[in-house]
Amino acid sequence: MNIIDNVINTVAKEVGKVQERSQEMMQGFNLSNQIKELERKKNAKLMEIGRAIYDKYEHDKEVSEERLKELVAEATAIDHEMAVLQAELDQIKVKNDPDATPTQKAEAKAGYSASPGFTCPTCGTPANREKAFCPSCGGALKAKAEESKKASDGTDEVEVEAEKA
């Protein structure tokens, strides 16, 4: 009876592994489809921007700067959403990639994901804006992220030295 129980347990474990792998593959497939759909939406938005600019200059139609900014913001939001989904897809791929480094596998297992468009200023590796240190080189990220945010927001404080009398 003990041998049969061992066989049943082994088969059950293997079936569980197959189910888990198929779920990961299905999740990857769904993420890929979502990314493709967002790419179509982004291309449509870019075409809309192009049409608006063409009409403005070729047909002298009134297109406000405000409207163009709205369209660009919508395209940028789609681009950001695509980057987030791509990061999720990359995590799934790394888990099953035999050529992935131990660091990459550990990051994927821990749920680490890079912030879209943000890299470590020290080594250039994609990094997460919310983390304090780079997972690759250990360089500080928090201070650099806040500096770049201040610079882009225009909220950088300027120290003014008091004039000596």
Q: Say if residue 101 is in the same domain as residue 147.
A: no
Q: Residue 111's pLDDT is what? A: 61
- 79, 13: one domain: yes
Its domain, for residue 84, covers: 2-113
Residues 47 and 128 in one domain: no
Assigned domain for 164 exists: no
Which residues of the chain are under the pLDDT cut of 50?
144-145, 155-165
Q: Are residues 125 and 104 in the same domain?
A: no
> Among candidates 73, 92, 90, 74, which has minimal Cα distance to 38?
74
Q: Which residue has the tokens 């809309």?
A: 48
Q: Is residue 162 part of a domain?
A: no
Closest CA to 53 of 41, 69, 40, 38: 69
Mean pLDDT of the chain: 80
Task: Report the C-alpha gap between 15 and 12 in whole angstroms.
Answer: 5
Residue 66 lies in a domain: yes
132-to-26, 62, 108, 119, 136 alpha-carbon distances in Å = 33, 47, 18, 13, 12
What one-letter code names the amino acid at 44?
A
Residue 71 domain-assigned (yes or no):
yes
Number of domains the chain contains: 2
